[in-house]
Each structure stands twice: as C-alpha cells, then as structure tokens.
Structure 1
Amino acid sequence: MTSPSATPSGGRSSVWRVLVGLLVALTVATGIIVVPWFLLRDEAAPGASAGPRWFGGYYDVTAAHPDTAALPGAGSDAVVLAFVTAGPGGACTPTWGGVYSLAEASRALDMDRRIAQKREAGAAVTVSFGGARGTELASACGTVGDLIGAYANVLERYTITTVDLDLENAALGDVVAGDRRAAAIAGLQGRARAKGSDLSVWLTLPSDQEGLGTDGLRAIRQLLQAGVRLAGVNTMTMDYGAPLADRSMAGAAITALTAVHDQLGRLYEDLHLALPAGGAWAIMGATPMIGQNDVHDEVFALDDAATLNAFAQKQRLARVSMWSLNRDRACGADHPDARTASDSCSGIAQGEADFAAVLGRGFAIDPTLAPNPAPTASAAGEATAPFTGSPAPPPASTPAPTRDP
C-alpha cells in the first residue's frame, strides 16, 4: 500500500544517485570530502547475525584455589574466564587481574592444562577483558598496535575465538581508550577473517532499570563505527543501587533488559545497521549476580533465576551468564555474614551449582563456539607441556576480594 505522499517509483533512488555522484566527483577532484558509507545504501547495512545461543558463567581466576582440579561448569556449558587486565603499574601486558601473568597462571593455577581439559570435555572456554578493578588494556596500551599485540597474546595462548569486553568504571568513561579498543578489535577481526576464521566479540556493560548509560551506548557506537561485528551486548543485571519499586530481582532484570532492547533498536537504526531476524533480543545477553549482591538489600534467589531463564527463553536471548561459578554454592558455617557478598559462595541456601543448572536451562552450545584445537606454544614461546606435579604456590600478590563482573 502506498501512502498519498509517497515518492513516485525511482524518484528517491534517482535523487540519492545524483547526490552520491556529486560527492564522489568532489572527492576525486579535491581529495577532501569523504562520502559517508551509509549514503551509498538505500537499505540498512548488515549489522549482526544471530549466533549460537549459549549459557556460560564467569569464573573469577584471581579467586581460584590452586588445588582445584578442573574448571567448574557442567556438560557443554561455556566458561568465561575473568578478568584479563593490564599488568602492575598499568603496564601494557595482559595479566589475570593484575595478580598472575599468563605464565604464572599456568604454573600456579595449572590454567593452560585446565582449559585444555575443559575443551576435551566438550565445553567452550572464552576470556573476558576488563572488569571492575585494575586497568583495562585499552587504557594501558598507548597505541592500537600495542593493544592488538596484548590482546593477541591472550587469544593465541588459549586459542580463543570468542571474547568478552567487560567495561566498567574508568574504562567505560575513557573515550580515547574506547577508540583505541574499537580499532584494535576491528583489526583482530580482520586478521581472523584473513585466516579463514572468525573472532566473536561480546560487549558487557552495566545497566540500571532505565537501561544503559551514555558511556555504555557510546562504547557500542565506537565499536560498530570502527567496523566491529558485535556478537552481542551483555547486560549486567545487578547492583542497581536504587529502590526496586516492589519488583523482584528478576523483575528488575527484565525491566532493565527491556530498556536495553529498545536502546539497541534505536542505535542500530541510527547507524543504518540491520539486526538479525529476532531483532535486538537476538544479540542480547543477561548476567545477574547470584545470591547476595554487593548492594545489601539485593538478593538474587533461585526463583529469580527461574524467572529470568523463562524470560530469556521466551525472547530468545543469545546468552545468559552469571557472576560467578566460584560463588555457586552455599556458604559454610565459618562465613561471617551471609548478607555480605563473598567471592566463594552465594550467601543463600542452595545446592552445589544450582544457579548454573537453573539459568542454563534450554541453552545448548553450538559446536562452532567450542573449538578443540591442538596444543600450541604460548605467545612467549613456552610450550604447554603435560602437567605432572602439584600446582606452584601463587605469586606474592594477594588476589582482590569480591569483584563484580
């Protein structure tokens, strides 16, 4: 059906062709004017394609115990290792939370071997860069080339094909670092494509019940405008720090996710980028903090987990995660205060790994998310030889206590 004010067939297209032709001619003649890419299109450009729907809890590497035999998580559930940050003093060197270098994590935590064992069991392993503490690599590395090198050290050592960029606090507000990060990630995706593979990129951002803040929306825009193909935007549904207006924690999460859904729809439309067939839901993830949150009055119970999972299934969210696998158990009698968040237990009555079981219902790992590569040498040339003894003691640095994703 055509509206009364519709342009006759071919009219709009002809006008755009004339305009584009003039701009291109001026560009060739003067070398000054650059044609915006979206003027060359009558329809939305490809933006995102729906990838595998998956569940994977975060695993806090710096809170890990050296005597733990294997990475947690059942069956084919993914594990998101957190967090890679800059080295001590803000050095442009990837470390686990500023506590372990990649080599130290191999010796003290048997990290390389545990990752290989997890993959052999059929699970995907990915890495999250950033987090709430420490210095994010994009802020520490002074050039795009240095940043690409720092990221690549991690990707190559652990043969990672899916990354999570967790932006919070100072890193989220650092506009210059954001541009550097966007250029580096675009470069890494280009490298992957040149090798006939792919690098899947998730962006994890804090939210309140009104959705993402200005900094979060800018971070998405920076990546997209740099040419990064985002697999999705993962919303931290936790630590709202404001009254929930009689909503449950699951209700607050659904309110926040709905707001983010609307924001993403507007942003992609503004950038002339097409969404998958499932719309913005198909590129969204949700990550609650299980049990006692850092905000005293916020407790995410197993009933909340069931409600959020049902919502994720209904809307076909691409991803559900949780903070954290380390905490997916009841606290022991020696825990001083159940209403204080711990990095090793949830603070509520539960069985072992109950939250992962409930939040992960209905999600299955696509085989492409969990490659099972042959062992390779590390970025520093250190071979990943079979582990034959007890883990070495951790370095002198003491891991930080509870931390948000």
Structure 2
Amino acid sequence: MHAGFIFSPYKDVGINMDWNSSTISTLVTGTQRPITQVMPSGLQVLTWAFATGTCDSESWAGVTPSSLISANVNAFVNAGKKYIISTGGAAGAFRCDTDSGFSSFLSRYKSSSLVGVDFDIENSMSQSDITSLVQRVKTARAGAYSNLRYSFTLATLASATTSNQLNSLGTMVMNTIKGAQMGWNGIYINLMVMDYGSTSNCAVSSSTWQCDMGQSAINAAKALNSTWGVPFSSIELTPMIGGNDVTTETFTLQDVTTMVNFVKQSGLAGVHYWSFDRDVDCPPGFASSTCNTYGQAGTLGFVNAFLSALK
C-alpha cells in the first residue's frame, strides 16, 4: 500500500443516529451504540455522510453542524479514530461559492482527526456548481488546508478498460479538474463501483452470467486511468457491500479479495464501501440501508474481510 492509503467505510449519519444527543450511532451489532464503540480496532477512519446544502449552512440529515460537531468530533479524537467529511450524495447536493465560505466550513470540522473532504457528486449539479467546488479545493490545497485529502466521488460503468465509463456528470467533473491544472497530489477520484444496471455495463461472470463485481471494480479503475490519465495512486474504489440496488448484482466476500488484490498490486489510494450500517446479514432481496441482503458475511463480516485483505 502506498503511504497515503485510506480505508474508510461510509457511515450514513442519519441511520440509527441517537437523535437526543446527535451522536453518530449504529444498530449493526443489535443494540444502538455510538459508532466509535463499534468500529473494529483495526478500522482507523470513517467517512461521515452526508453534508448537504451550502458550505455556509450545511445540514446532516436535518442535524445542525454545531450539534453534530459537539457530539462527535471530540469523541472521535478521544477514541483515536479519524474521519472524512462527505458532502452531497444520492439524495442531496452541496454547493460552495466562496473560498472564505469553504475555509470556515473546513475550520468547523477541523481537529487532529480530520483526514479530508469528499464530494459525492450524483445529481442536480451544474457546471458552475462543479467549477466552484474545484476552485474551492484548489485554493484550500494551496493554503491553510494543504494537509487534507480531497476526493471527488463519481458513478461509473465497468464494461471496458480503455474507454470512458463515466456519465455526463462525471465527465463534466473530470474535465473541470483537468482544466484547473492542480495535479494529483492530494486529489483523488473515488469510483462508485456499484449499481451498473445491466450486464451490458459491467464485467460478466462466466459462472453466473451476472456482473462480476470484483472484476467490474478493476475495470472501472483501469478505464479511469487509461482514458483520463488519473494515476492509480489517486484512484479510490467504493463498492456497495452485499446486494446492490440492482438485485442481480451482489458484492461478495470473494469480491473483497479480488478487488483488494488489485488495489494492492496497482497502488490505489483508497477503499471505502457503502455502508457501515449494512454490514450485518439479511436474506437476498431488495437492498436495505440496515443490512447486506447477502446473508453470508456475519455481523461486521465485510469490514473485517477488508481489514484482513488489506494487511
């Protein structure tokens, strides 16, 4: 693994939160507990998802920044755990029009445990919105926040390794980043290697004739590298563990091994997954936000499989 490698599952802060205290919590072990008490000892970093709105007045699933920060930042510091702030997401957008606004946003979450910021760009973002975010990152990196890592999380297909697998929004983001000419030091592209929709969009397994999710993740990384020139050392992968939203697509424990072997061989920058609360068994079926619709991993089976494979 290269020096800056990060493994951090996404945690949807709105799932099983302690709404009385605003403590980020989970029911994945069967009882509601603060997330810092449930993270395995080997898991050092967690990605908090999602801050939506604007950098001047963001919201976390309806929780105010001040409530979230007071309940969680020092708790992570005291537990020896780190965090990434993720913005946007499938259900929301995040916009930031001024460098001063972004600087104050970062300063709110700043602590010895803040590792970086993630921009999960999935919907309703215009070219000007994206240009603004990229400019905010360029300024922050050149100034007081050069120590943070900045990732742009994009949807991808995975049918080929030598052609663009991004959608129009992802293509817009990549063109904007290239135009900003800020290089790849501390800048990462995180691919959502999930929900391909049909077998025409992925690597197909010769045994099941469904999407081979491990190989598809590899295809997506290779395509980003070959078509956009993103070095592997700036590429991250985020699968959806277990059953995906497309019920024929399942990211298995074997896929963990397949994907991580490639990550290690190629020197990728990071691995994440969606999501911490889903890492407990339930039978296959429609995707759930609180279990894996896979049924064969056990409680925290995926996080432990990743930790083991990444050693």
Same fold judged by TM-score > 0.5?
yes
Partner SS state of residue 9, structure 2: strand
Match of 1:225 in 2: 179
Does residue 286 of structure 2 align to residue 340 of structure 1? yes
* Structure 1 position 256, deviation (Å): 1.9
Partner SS state of residue 154, structure 2: strand
* Structure 1 position 148, deviation (Å): 1.8
Match of 1:356 in 2: 303
CA distance in 1, matches of 2:8, 2:64: 24
Does residue 39 of structure 2 align to residue 73 of structure 1? yes
Could you tell me which amino acid in structure 2 is paired with residue 137 of structure 1? R
**Runs of at least 5 residues in structure 1 that lack an aligned partner in the other structure:** 1-49, 269-279, 332-336, 365-405
Partner SS state of residue 259, structure 2: helix
CA distance in 2, matches of 1:316, 1:73: 25
* Structure 1 position 106, deviation (Å): 4.8
User: What does the per-residue CA deviation read over 1:114-135, in whole Å, with 9 as the maximum and x for residues that have no partner?
Assistant: 32234x2xx3311111111123
1:241 equivalent among 197, 204, 209:
197
Could you tell me which amino acid in structure 2 is paired with residue 218 of structure 1? M
Distance 1:305 1:161, change over 3 A: closer
* Structure 1 position 112, deviation (Å): 2.8
Could you tell me which amino acid in structure 1 is paired with residue 242 of structure 2? G
CA distance in 2, matches of 1:51, 1:164: 19
Could you tell me which amino acid in structure 2 is paired with residue 225 of structure 1? G
Higher RCO (CA 8 Å, separation ≥ 6 residues): 1
| Bigger-Rg structure (1/2) | 1
Looking at secondary structure, tell me which structure has more helix per residue. Answer: 1
* Structure 1 position 105, deviation (Å): 2.6
User: What does the per-residue CA deviation read over 1:341-372, in whole Å, with 9 as the maximum and x for residues that have no partner?
Assistant: 111111122222111122234547xxxxxxxx
Q: Is the 8 A contact 2:103 2:140 kept in 1?
A: no
Q: Aligned ranges for residues 95-110 of structure 1 at < 5 Å?
A: 95-97=59-61, 99-106=62-69, 110=71
Partner SS state of residue 62, structure 1: coil
Match of 1:320 in 2: 271
Match of 2:95 in 1: 137
Match of 1:148 in 2: 102
Identical-pair percentage: 23
Partner SS state of residue 35, structure 2: coil
CA distance in 2, matches of 1:155, 1:226: 26
* Structure 1 position 150, deviation (Å): 5.6
CA distance in 2, matches of 1:106, 1:341: 30
CA distance in 2, matches of 1:240, 1:288: 11
**Alignment length, in residue pairs?**
279
Match of 1:374 in 2: none
CA distance in 1, matches of 2:251, 2:154: 19
Match of 2:10 in 1: 58
Match of 2:29 in 1: none
Could you tell me which amino acid in structure 2 is paired with residue 134 of structure 1? G
Match of 2:247 in 1: 296
* Structure 1 position 76, deviation (Å): 4.2
Partner SS state of residue 295, structure 1: coil
Could you tell me which amino acid in structure 2 is paired with residue 358 of structure 1? A
Match of 1:190 in 2: 142
Q: Is the 8 A contact 1:83 1:128 kept in 2?
A: yes
Match of 2:216 in 1: 252
**Runs of at least 5 residues in structure 2 that lack an aligned partner in the other structure:** 19-31
User: What does the per-residue CA deviation read over 1:185-236, in whole Å, with 9 as the maximum and x for residues that have no partner?
Assistant: 222222226xxx5222111111011422343133133234335444321111
Distance 1:198 1:294, change over 3 A: same
Structure-1-length-normalised TM-score: 0.63
Could you tell me which amino acid in structure 1 is paired with residue 73 of structure 2? D
* Structure 1 position 160, deviation (Å): 2.5
User: What does the per-residue CA deviation read over 1:261-282, in whole Å, with 9 as the maximum and x for residues that have no partner?
Assistant: 21232xx6xxxxxxxxxxx222
